[in-house]
Amino acid sequence: MAKILISGGSGLLGRAITQLFLKNKHQVVWLSRNAQQIPGVKVYEWNWEKNSIDIKAFENIDVLINLAGAGIVDKAWTNDYKKEIIDSRVESTRLLVETVEKNKIQLKHFIGASAVGYYGSEASEMVYSESSVAGSDFMAETCARWESAYIPFELLTKKSTIFHLGIVLSNEGGALPKMVLPFKYGFGASLGSGKQYFPWIHIDDLSKLFLYAVETTHLSGTFNAVAPNIVTNLEFSKTLAKSLNRPFFLPQVPEFMLKLFLGERHLALTRGLKISSEKLIDAGFQFDYKNIEEALKALNVIKTR
């Protein structure tokens, strides 16, 4: 049994992996900006903007998991919010590093979240692996700076792992409920050209991946946390409509309209690359949901129970 500290534990992924850890008899504590207690989890307060953190959160921990960061598409990408997106990742990580180093915390494993946005958003038919270089747009810069902030953990822990997260599919939050809504009423359509790729992963597989990382000794380094079945936005949209038994006949939503309503954020919807999960599979991880049809079918079943 491991004692696991999660920063950013109250988000969609944090809640999901917490439940799986607890189910498998691990002990979980959280760092949160709002130290409201939840059943089975001790919550400690921190605030990276004030450089404050409750050192008691680190008592006897084996694994530190960092999921903290402002939502990428929650608000318009003004200069101020772009700064918040980056600082909430880089500065919060700096505070974790300084706390571990200053207090000589004997970590066995550090796991840090990043995103497939690391590779950029330029249209390409190239398949991107963990050895591919970072892109040059805002999302790529954010991820690259975030991962650079993780580097000290390579010396401060016995094992360090970084996951490039794809789009997480869950009924409990994230992108899927927002995407489902127009499809439910028969107004679903693909976005932009529809040819952009849609790197996705089922929430259950992603949670299982974090458990796998904690319970095995060899998952060290950077891994793309995406399902092996690569689909385009058009293919995903057609499959989503079919899974909901809804028609799919409307033309694509033009990119200029998305740009008009979302500004620069539209790039998160109209750009997408082919991301390989081969390294993860070679490391022994087995996906329960390898293709998009299986994933959406399971999520619809869960939704109607």
pLDDT digits (tens, 9 = 90+) for 74-111: 788 899 999 999 999 999 999 999 999 999 999 999 99
Q: Are strands 200-202 and 42-47 parallel, antiparallel or unpaired?
A: unpaired
Residue 227 · residue 288 · CB < 8 Å: no
pLDDT of residue 256: 60
Residue 181 · residue 188 · CB < 8 Å: no
pTM: 0.92
Q: What are the structural domains, with CATH classification, of the chain?
A: 3-304 (3.40.50.720)
Residue 303 · residue 171 · CB < 8 Å: yes
Farthest CA pair distance, the chain: 60
pLDDT digits (tens, 9 = 90+) for 199-236: 999 999 999 999 999 999 899 999 999 999 989 989 99
Mean residue pLDDT of the chain comes to: 90
Q: Which DSSP string corresponds to 63-84?
A: EEEE-----SSSS---HHHHHH
Which H or E element spans position 138?
helix 138-150
Residue 193 · residue 254 · CB < 8 Å: no
pLDDT of residue 302: 44
Cα–Cα distance, 298 to 305 (Å, whole number): 11
Token pair of 23, please? 């189910």
Question: Does the structure show a pLDDT above 90 at 38?
Answer: no
Residue 121 · residue 137 · CB < 8 Å: yes
pLDDT of residue 301: 43
Q: What is the mean pLDDT of residues 6-22?
A: 94
Token pair of 182, please? 């127009």
**C-alpha 241, offset from chain centre:** 24
